[in-house]
Amino acid sequence: MIEPKSDIEKDILLALQQVFDPEVPVNIYELGLIYGLEVDKANNVVVTMTLTAPNCPMADQLVEDVKRAVEDVPKVADVDVKIVFEPEWSMKMMSEAALLELGLL
């Protein structure tokens, strides 16, 4: 989990918790799909994330949902979403809340 260093990072993380993976009824933050968050002095944002599977058919939609959610945060200037596959996502990256939501705890 990412620890916010500023109010804008906290707001961005809250916004990301409103984005759900289309195939899993859990938000992408609790799923552990968000690997990094960078905000520069001009409030340009880079979100580094992964997908539950490299061939996810909803990848483009999910990226667009993330971009739109972060753009809606007050004071955000620009948003870049980077998809990475290292480290490979696994269920171990899910939060306890996500595991509970999915009945895995």
End-to-end CA distance of the chain: 18
Residue 5 tokens, joined: 């260093």
The pTM (predicted TM-score) of the whole model is 0.93
Fold type of domain 7-97: GMP Synthetase; Chain A, domain 3 (3.30.300)
pLDDT tens series, the chain, 105 aa: 898 999 999 999 999 999 998 888 899 999 999 999 999 999 999 999 999 888 888 899 999 999 999 999 999 999 999 999 999 999 999 999 999 989 888
Contact residues for 37 (Cβ-Cβ < 8 A; gap 6+): 2, 4, 9, 12, 13, 45, 46, 47, 48
∠ CA 78-24-31, nearest 5°, is 60
Domain boundaries of the chain, sorted by first residue: 7-97
